[in-house]
Amino acid sequence: MEDVELAKLEDLPTEYVKDLTAHNLVPLWPSLRGVLPQTRPRPLTQATAWAYGDIRPLLIKAGELTPIEKAERRVLVLANPGHGLQKMQASAAIYLGMQLLLPGELAPPHRHTPNAVRMIVEGEGAYTTVQGEKCPMSRGDLILTPTGLWHEHGHDGDQPVIWLDVLDLPMVYYMEASYHVNGTHQEPQPGHSEAQYSGAGVIPTPFFTRADKAYPVLRFAWSDVKEALNHLANDAANVECVQVTYINALNGQDVENILGYYALMLRPGQTLRLPARSPACVFHVIEGGFELKTDDKVFTLNEADTACVPGYGAVVLKNLNATQPCYVFMTDESPLHRKLGVYENWG
């Protein structure tokens, strides 16, 4: 706010405001109602949806216009208008981007402080290496590239591969801790971390394995996650919300530190009300389609579409297909809110 506006709003003498400014001082009371609103927060995040049918042709065009050597990472950011498009935020703590890799391309290795995951949207034949471990990329797979770990993307197939990037970049940037470091290419080595930690409820005995491997599983295959959802739906027919959480197999906590990741199944024709909670949430359709209702907006989401909704409002999801289930990938800010002690469930 300019000095004149501030003086007029709070009946402060203009000279007094100029003296404050000269000493890098700001009166709290003119802004207090903005930073501490009564009763409930006023999120900048707006309920927003991005149709994959709109994104894909523009992303393919980006592949024609910009070589990977120039772009390094060829991404279209899913920006929330409530934060301003230039800030590249889907919510206060979530960054979303659709990334394209064409046949034969190699996105060079780097590491960075923000945590990232890749939800594969389309195509076969690409892979991500994380700390040298090769993680194949197929539709619906979730691949982690946690904070500080080297990673690169390669493509041995013959069709475009596209995935959804989810990062906690806005939070890390706000903390003034965001940076990246370029690296050198390493020949990828086959990895089997997901096989070592899946099935039968067993994990490798610690004294036979690397004690410093903070992220034991880097790739969560969609075939395994979908099977788990189907079993849950069949075995617990009385459970309304058929949802699983991606976790760290060593400690049972969320798979990364700031954002939470989940997969949800909507039964055929099901309508599911999600309670109003403090964190913002992102929904991405893996298979099927559904209607999403928030406090003030309604979106119809089809396969590969994405939406973000702010916190503190209830969300209602309705499977649009009366005979087939719908499968949804979700990410939210719950781990961050819990760590900060501000997590709330308003029911």
Give the pLDDT score at 7. 46
Residue 23 lies in a domain: no
Distance CA 139, CA 304 (A): 10
Residue 38 lies in a domain: no
Average pLDDT of the residues in 296-303: 96
Statement: residue 176 has pLDDT above 70: yes
- Look at the chain and report how many structural domains it folds into: 1
- Supply 203's token pair: 């994990």
Distance CA 192, CA 220 (A): 11
Using alpha carbons, select from 306, 330, 302, 136 the residue that is nearest to residue 223. 136
Give the pLDDT score at 4. 44
Give the pLDDT score at 347. 78
Using alpha carbons, select from 195, 189, 186, 194 the residue that is nearest to residue 134. 189
Residue 7 lies in a domain: no
Element at 54 (helix H, strand E):
helix 52-65
Tens of pLDDT along 27-65?
888 888 888 998 889 999 999 999 999 999 999 999 999
Residue 268 lies in a domain: yes
Residue 165 lies in a domain: yes
Distance CA 39, CA 296 (A): 19
151 contacts 135 by C-beta, under 8 angstroms: no
196 versus 149: which is more confidently predicted? 149
pTM beyond 0.85: yes
Residue 20 lies in a domain: no
Give the pLDDT score at 163. 98
Torsion of CA 211, 217, 161, 107, to 10 degrees: -10
Give the pLDDT score at 95. 98
Average pLDDT of the residues in 283-295: 97
Residue 34 lies in a domain: no
If pLDDT is split at 50, 70 and 90, which confidence band does 10 have? low
Encoded amino acid at 43, one letter: P
Give the pLDDT score at 209. 55
CATH, residue 138:
2.60.120.10
Encoded amino acid at 65, one letter: L
- Give the structural domain span for 66: 48-340
Residue 333 lies in a domain: yes
Average pLDDT of the residues in 77-103: 97
